[in-house]
Amino acid sequence: MGEEHETPVTESDLHGYVDGRLTPERLAAVQAWLVARPEEAERIASLQRLHEDIRALYDPVLSEPVPIALEQAVTGRRPPYRRLAQAAGLLAVGIALGMAAGWQIHGERPAGTADVGGGMARRAAVAHATYSPEVRHPVEVGADQEAHLVAWLSKRLGAPVRAPQLEGVGYSLVGGRLLPGESGPVAQFMYQCQRGTRVTLYVRTEAVNNTQTAFRYAKEGNVRVFYWVDRRLGYALSSADISKDDLLKVSNAVYQQLNP
């Protein structure tokens, strides 16, 4: 038996397998090890799906141009006038597109307010891509313990949270989990329809000073998100499996229950 087969397979080897960084010899050893361990093979397949989802979300950032301010800081040179003008033009186009893409339920957006939910929408999309494909452990607490789940998440978030009832739009509660947010804990509720498609509701309580109630749409990779912020509470409903129109119907059902 060769030496490569005598070397134990480590967690580092498994992550190297997911990342595609193993030598051919080590790759063969890990593959043989996984064939003999179906449960570990399932876990690694889940990590590979997560890896692909995260790349789909963030690889486009790699092709974006370096911001002028950063380039100037590194090179010590002021950018040419033409490049400044081009950047200003692109910024104006971006602002115009952002204003056209966003829409609200309750009137116009107040002048000078920021889209405080944009970062939340991105984190909600990543959380959806991470947990919605899970088969064995999609949630920490199942729907059969809904009362305990809601009480636990409310206590951890420091505010009363609710799990909307979505049977009227074809979705049943699977359960939920606690996640780390930008500056505190957040909650995720997961729902599933009879076809097996899933949506997740991401709830945060970090927008302490916000008074804006907005209803907006974003797309991160293949994950669609409708999100809104109401005073201290922020919500984001995500799915990669249904159309924007179908997700809007579910979002409206959630909104009507949480923002009467």
Report the alpha-carbon distance of residue 75 to residue 69 in Å, rounded.
10
Residues 231, 207: one domain?
A: yes
Residues 137, 193: one domain?
A: yes
Name every residue whose Cβ is closer than 8 Å to that of residue 255 and which is 6 or more positions away in sequence. 105, 215, 228, 235
Residues 112, 90: one domain?
A: no
Instruction: Show the domain range for 20.
Output: 6-62
Residues 51, 126: one domain?
A: no
Residue 102 inside a domain? The answer is: no
Residues 132, 247: one domain?
A: yes
Residues 204, 145: one domain?
A: yes
Residues 151, 214: one domain?
A: yes
User: What CATH number does residue 168 fall under?
Assistant: 3.30.200.100
Which two tokens mark 104? Answer: 């609200």
pLDDT by residue for the chain (260 residues), tens digit each? 444 446 788 877 887 887 788 888 888 888 888 888 877 887 787 777 766 766 666 566 555 565 555 555 555 555 554 444 544 444 444 443 343 333 333 333 333 334 556 788 888 999 999 888 888 888 999 999 999 999 999 999 999 999 999 999 999 999 999 988 777 889 999 999 999 999 999 999 865 555 555 688 998 888 999 998 877 788 999 999 999 999 999 999 999 998 76
Q: How many domains does the chain have?
A: 3
Residue 25 inside a domain? The answer is: yes
Residues 128, 165: one domain?
A: yes
